[in-house]
Structure 1
Amino acid sequence: MNLPATGRRVLISGASRGLGRALAQAFAENGDRVAVHYGSREEDARATLASLAGDGHVLVGGDLSDPAGAADVAERAAAASGGLGGLDVLVNNAAVNLPHPLADTSYEDWADLWQRHVAVNLLATANLSHLAARRMIDQGTGGRIVNIGSRGAFRGEPDHPAYGATKAAVHALGQSLAVSLAPYGIAVASVAPGFFETERVAHRLSGDEGAAIRAQSPFGRAGTAEEIAAAVLWLASPVAEWASGTVLDLNGASHLRT
């Protein structure tokens, strides 16, 4: 099963800004064609699309928290007309991360926020993985699925417990799929980033807690979206098949697993 090094058809969920944009740009600069997915930030997603090198990229909006919505996104991304004409790589990046410390959160809000995190972070990842993998199997050329997990899956997220729990589940899902999809030439891996810079967290880095965040790493800085994207690009490459099943820590030695 021959997965090309470039010219691949890549679906990136949650690609309107931040890490999603950096991922889309990295794959486009590699010579791949990218389906830029967005949930509600269409204007940002169009800015991502306009920033991509090369041509043949497409914009795909849709609600991944709904199974029918996920199916529609995958179908339009892979469509022969108006889409990429198939799928070779899926990057599951879409996620929600809303604070809900138990002691300060009502039960009604707690239950609602858990449902939202599970629907987007876990179930949408599982559903898109199924939809993409079935296409890869039918194409007969193998493929790659890379999941964006989190350091929080290992060290805990006291103010964001549903985020930490769903990201741990994403890691486990990736390892299960790595075993089941290997016979079809589909490698599945995950990355577990620590704190990295995006526009969404810029206020935290520039505010009072910025120094403490940077001190989490012995390098004395936060990571960058481009560093995470470079690792994902490698995991999605033909030479990374033997990394299938891995959960790659990308946290600047801020949290070491034993």
Structure 2
Amino acid sequence: MRRVLITGASRGIGRAAASAFAARGDRVAVHYARDRAAAEQTLQALPGSGHVIVAGDLTDPDAAQRIASDTVQALGGIDVLVNNAGMAPTPGNAHRVAEVEAAQWQQVWQHMLEVNVLGPVHLTYAVARHLIARGAPGHIVNVGSRGAFRGEPDYPAYGASKAALQAFGQSMAIALAPHGISVASVAPGFVRTERQEAKLAAPEGDTLRAESPFGRVGTPDEIAAAIVYLASPQATWASGAILDLNGASYLRP
């Protein structure tokens, strides 16, 4: 039995990952920032017992230490961290360089980097220091994006933030290996989460499904399965890897 902290676990990929770890007998800390009710739904649906909820706004630099400390107190330690919480592209945060004013451009970039980069950076630090102090091996998995590689012209801050997160993970893979801690990333393409259902039901849904030769988009369970693998002792030798999960919709050189 391991202790697993998953950020942004109130829905989508985070919820699926929480369920997958719990099904293996692990105890899960379900993190949320604002939607307590959704986090409670995740918690109630988890198999097994001993799971907990932890709260914290990852745009607050001091929140990461509190989230880690609350998890350690509730579960007795942390063995696995999944940095899943993130700010995804939405119509409300599109920032095409030829169309937005400077103030909006600056605001989107600032917030996207706070959520998608600095939040995971500070939480990784807190969990890594906990593992090092215990002298215990551990696993950290970051949820990146296909957008880090293919470019996101309508959402450049999103693509850049995920590229930064994945590069950070590779730096930590080297830094933490001497302590027995592995760090890897998944880079999903488009995934059928709750907040994407409207987009998939609209005319653009056919375009999104056609991006993959499979003729569909990914599922949260498929991403969760990869996260569980990368967080397993058997995947320690994959530390530093970035695993593409996009149904061959984008192939890196």
Do both proteins adopt the same fold according to a TM-score greater than 0.5, normalized to the shorter chain? yes
The equivalent of 2:234 in structure 1 is: 239
Alpha-carbon shift at residue 104 of structure 1 (Å): 2.2
The equivalent of 1:93 in structure 2 is: 84
Identical aligned residues as a percent? 57
1:157 has 2:152 as partner: yes
Structure 2: unaligned runs, 5 residues or longer: none
The equivalent of 1:147 in structure 2 is: 142
Cα deviation, 1:35-62, whole Å, max 9, x if unaligned, reads: 1000111110110111101011110111
The equivalent of 2:75 in structure 1 is: 84
Q: Structure 1 counterpart of 2:121, which letter?
A: A
The equivalent of 2:29 in structure 1 is: 35
Q: Distance in 2 between matches of 1:99 and 1:189?
A: 28
Q: CA RMSD in A?
A: 0.7
The equivalent of 2:108 in structure 1 is: 113
Match of 1:197, SS state, is coil
The equivalent of 2:62 in structure 1 is: 68
The equivalent of 2:250 in structure 1 is: 255
1:178 has 2:178 as partner: no
Q: Which runs of 4+ in 1 moved over 6 A?
A: none
Alpha-carbon shift at residue 103 of structure 1 (Å): 2.1
Match of 2:75, SS state, is coil
With normalisation by structure 1, the TM-score equals 0.95
Alpha-carbon shift at residue 207 of structure 1 (Å): 0.8
Q: Distance in 2 between matches of 1:99 and 1:233?
A: 32
Alpha-carbon shift at residue 238 of structure 1 (Å): 0.7
Match of 1:40, SS state, is coil
Q: Distance in 1 between matches of 2:65 and 2:236?
A: 26
Q: Distance in 2 between matches of 1:63 and 1:198?
A: 21
Alpha-carbon shift at residue 229 of structure 1 (Å): 0.2
Cα deviation, 1:3-45, whole Å, max 9, x if unaligned, reads: xxxx100000111111110011111111100010001111101
Q: Structure 2 counterpart of 1:164, which letter?
A: G
1:25 has 2:16 as partner: no
The equivalent of 2:162 in structure 1 is: 167
Alpha-carbon shift at residue 186 of structure 1 (Å): 0.2
Q: Distance in 2 between matches of 1:93 and 1:102?
A: 27
With normalisation by structure 2, the TM-score equals 0.97
